[in-house]
Amino acid sequence: MVKNEMVWDLSQLVDNVEPASIQKQLDDMVTEAEKLRAEYHSKVAGLDAKGIRNLLESKDALTLKFEGAVRYGQLSYMANSTDDTAKQLNDAVRRAMTKFGQALAFIDIELGGLLALKASLIRDPVLVEYRHYLERILRRVPHMLSESEEQLIIAKDRNGVSAWELLQSDWLSTRTFTMEIEGKKKTMPYGEIIGLYQSPNRELRKQARQSVFESLGKDDIVWASAIRAVCEDHVEMCRLRKWSTAMTQSLIENDVDEEAIESLMKTILNNTKLYQTYLKIKAQLMDLPKLADYDLLAPLPKSPEKTYAWMDARKEVTSAYGEFDEQFGNWIHDMYEKRRLDGEVRKGKASGAWCSPWMAGKSAFVLQSYNGRMTDVYTQAHELGHAIHSHLASRAQKPSNCEVGSCVAETGSLFGELLLTECLLKKAKTKEEKQAILVIVLDEFSVSAFQVSARVLFEQSLYDAIRQGQFLDAETINKLWLAARNKINGDAVEWLDVLKWDWTRTPHYYIANYRFYNYPYVFAQLFVFALYRLYKEQGRSFVPKLKALLAAGSSKSPHELSTELGFDLTNEAFWQNGMRQAEEFVQMLERTL
Ligand SMILES: [Zn+2]
């Protein structure tokens, strides 16, 4: 009985769970996509507004019709990757999705061509629901190249930037690292040794990082060559694609503007003292004169060993959401009641936590491995916040408007974590319990808002250096990394010398054809803290605003959404609301000392 409650019921996704029936649906999905292609390919240029709407509605209808079979295959595999049937179904889904994507890729390309000539179509009232979808296509048009140039780029990337990316991830996944544990030498792969970074044993944390970064530093020529190639390739692509700055591509992809990101980053730099104050308080809580880099994410030594049974977590999370809004509470209750969460710990299950939207069911499915720690309750609240986002967006929007960009995609989830915090703090009986809660929240805030900001500054400085004609060898890159890191951390952290190699292990810097991966994390974190601050100030009247924001999905840009709700993302005063909320948490923690 208890076991069943922690295992999800995927049968609700489809009428028939027989593998042959799922396979048949996937085949039909491809056939219908090819039919749609036959009907519209090379004809989009001649469509009027009504014709465009029909095309996009047909595509959305296909997505919804076959979503259940697709999700069933994917989620069965995530739930049990050792099961042969699940493996085969997941494989079939991947093949079918590739064909589906290939068949329908012409739509956005041809729409781009049409809109470049007739941008006024975007304002046609017939297309009101697809307005922003079309605006996003149009924003990409000036940066597209001819078909043969695009093909050439794919070909040169395969053995160029993509090869550097692969080299970096292969290095991390194939090297082993040696350190001493209880007097014995132990050799481990990367995935295992980084598990020690958060060990309660300080010496182990230190040794683990020393061992990894020392090894990374020995191959400095490899990393510097890779970063140089990836960055210089991007500079070349900026020229060819007419992206005005190194960040332009990512701004387009994330549907945000430069002014908003500038004001976000200024707010971060203006508040580094607040972050450093938190680090000093955490050092006191750990009985240390100063935190070392390997203490930044360490648990508090005196944290209570409190665990939460599944039902207790369910109660906490449901009431956290329910106190904010009755409908939220009901949806969360439904998620548990209809068994759309998988929390059981078992072999073969995908690691980490994840929320998969289910638009056709106007709901979602959540996966995590629930171990009963307080951080597991947080993860559950986080993923269920994504589920709330799906509940709202799938009721209000077409599937094309449910692809929310990363700056806003974490709004429901991070907001939910703060609602949980409020509930847990109210019930905390001892100061140690309070400290444990606040440190979870402030550690996460510190990483996403501040430590990730160092990476944004670093990436920016790489392009500034290239523009000034500097050659990016390992020593130069180290200097740039230390400058960015120190700008954020000041003198609040004691660093191991080998941490100058920190930039070598971050896969984001090596991703082919995608620069500036990092600021959306900063955006998301501070955005939600700012919203939560406004909720605290405005009370109930704020609730419909958050719901409107989530319900909009990707039908509006973050800028447009915020403006409608009365916030100005280009104004530092908005972002400062988030800092005021962080400051309140820091002060609460300080009072427990
Ligand atoms: Zn998330």
For residue 58, the CA-to-ligand 1 centroid distance in Å is: 30
For residue 216, the CA-to-ligand 1 centroid distance in Å is: 29
For residue 354, the CA-to-ligand 1 centroid distance in Å is: 7
For residue 54, the CA-to-ligand 1 centroid distance in Å is: 33
Instruction: Please tell me the distance from the alpha carbon of residue 385 to that of residue 498, in angstroms, as a whole number.
Output: 38
For residue 411, the CA-to-ligand 1 centroid distance in Å is: 9
Based on the number of CB atoms within 10 Å of its own CB, is 587 exposed (0-12), middle (13-18) or buried (19 or more)? exposed
For residue 485, the CA-to-ligand 1 centroid distance in Å is: 25
For residue 514, the CA-to-ligand 1 centroid distance in Å is: 20
Burial 68-86 (b: 16+ CB within 10 A, else e): bbbbbbbbbbbbbeeeeeb
For residue 412, the CA-to-ligand 1 centroid distance in Å is: 9
For residue 318, the CA-to-ligand 1 centroid distance in Å is: 18
For residue 375, the CA-to-ligand 1 centroid distance in Å is: 14
For residue 397, the CA-to-ligand 1 centroid distance in Å is: 21
Residue 304 has a pLDDT of 80
For residue 99, the CA-to-ligand 1 centroid distance in Å is: 28
For residue 521, the CA-to-ligand 1 centroid distance in Å is: 10
Helix (H, G, I), strand (E, B) or coil at 507: helix
71 contacts 356 by C-beta, under 8 angstroms: yes
pTM listed for this prediction: 0.95
Token readout for 470 is 């500097």
Instruction: Please tell me the distance from the alpha carbon of residue 489 to that of residue 483, in angstroms, as a whole number.
Output: 10
For residue 339, the CA-to-ligand 1 centroid distance in Å is: 20
For residue 373, the CA-to-ligand 1 centroid distance in Å is: 18
For residue 479, the CA-to-ligand 1 centroid distance in Å is: 33
Residue 2 has a pLDDT of 46
Closest CA to 418 of 532, 551, 544: 532
For every residue of 517-571, DSSP letters joined together read -SHHHHHHHHHHHHHHHHHHHHGGGGHHHHHHHHHTTTSS-HHHHHHHTT--TTS
For residue 305, the CA-to-ligand 1 centroid distance in Å is: 26
Give, as one character, the DSSP assignment of residue 120: G
For residue 410, the CA-to-ligand 1 centroid distance in Å is: 5
For residue 136, the CA-to-ligand 1 centroid distance in Å is: 23
Phi, psi dihedrals of residue 184, rounded to the nearest 5°: -115, 140
Closest CA to 7 of 75, 71, 74, 69: 75
For residue 142, the CA-to-ligand 1 centroid distance in Å is: 32
For residue 238, the CA-to-ligand 1 centroid distance in Å is: 30
Length of the chain: 593
Q: Which residues sit with Cβ closer than 5 angstroms to ligand 1, an ion?
A: 413
For residue 386, the CA-to-ligand 1 centroid distance in Å is: 7
For residue 65, the CA-to-ligand 1 centroid distance in Å is: 26
For residue 413, the CA-to-ligand 1 centroid distance in Å is: 6
For residue 353, the CA-to-ligand 1 centroid distance in Å is: 9
* HSE, side-chain direction, 13 A CA sphere, residue 456: 24
Helix (H, G, I), strand (E, B) or coil at 434: helix
For residue 368, the CA-to-ligand 1 centroid distance in Å is: 12
**540: amino acid identity, one letter:** R
For residue 414, the CA-to-ligand 1 centroid distance in Å is: 7
Longest dimension (CA), the chain: 75
Per-residue pLDDT of the chain (593 residues; tens, 9 = 90+): 445 789 999 999 999 999 999 999 999 999 999 999 999 999 999 999 999 999 999 999 999 999 999 999 999 999 998 899 999 999 999 999 999 999 999 999 999 999 999 999 999 999 999 999 999 999 999 999 988 898 899 888 988 988 998 898 888 888 999 999 989 999 999 888 998 999 999 999 999 999 999 999 999 999 999 999 999 999 999 999 999 999 999 999 999 999 999 999 999 999 999 999 999 999 999 999 999 999 999 989 887 878 999 999 999 999 999 999 999 999 999 999 999 999 999 888 888 899 999 999 999 999 999 999 999 999 999 999 999 999 999 999 999 999 999 999 999 999 999 999 999 999 999 999 999 999 999 999 999 999 999 999 999 999 999 999 999 999 999 999 999 999 999 999 999 999 999 999 988 888 888 889 999 999 999 999 999 999 999 999 999 999 999 999 999 999 999 999 899 999 999 999 999 999 999 999 999 99
For residue 409, the CA-to-ligand 1 centroid distance in Å is: 7
For residue 378, the CA-to-ligand 1 centroid distance in Å is: 11
Residue 3 has a pLDDT of 52
For residue 355, the CA-to-ligand 1 centroid distance in Å is: 8
Residue 34 has a pLDDT of 98
Based on the number of CB atoms within 10 Å of its own CB, is 590 exposed (0-12), middle (13-18) or buried (19 or more)? middle
What pairing do the DSSP bridges indicate for beta strands 493-494 and 291-292? Answer: parallel
For residue 340, the CA-to-ligand 1 centroid distance in Å is: 17
For residue 244, the CA-to-ligand 1 centroid distance in Å is: 31
For residue 153, the CA-to-ligand 1 centroid distance in Å is: 32
Whole-angstrom distance between the N-terminal and C-terminal Cα of the chain? 44
Phi, psi dihedrals of residue 18, rounded to the nearest 5°: -60, 130
409 contacts 566 by C-beta, under 8 angstroms: no
328 contacts 388 by C-beta, under 8 angstroms: yes
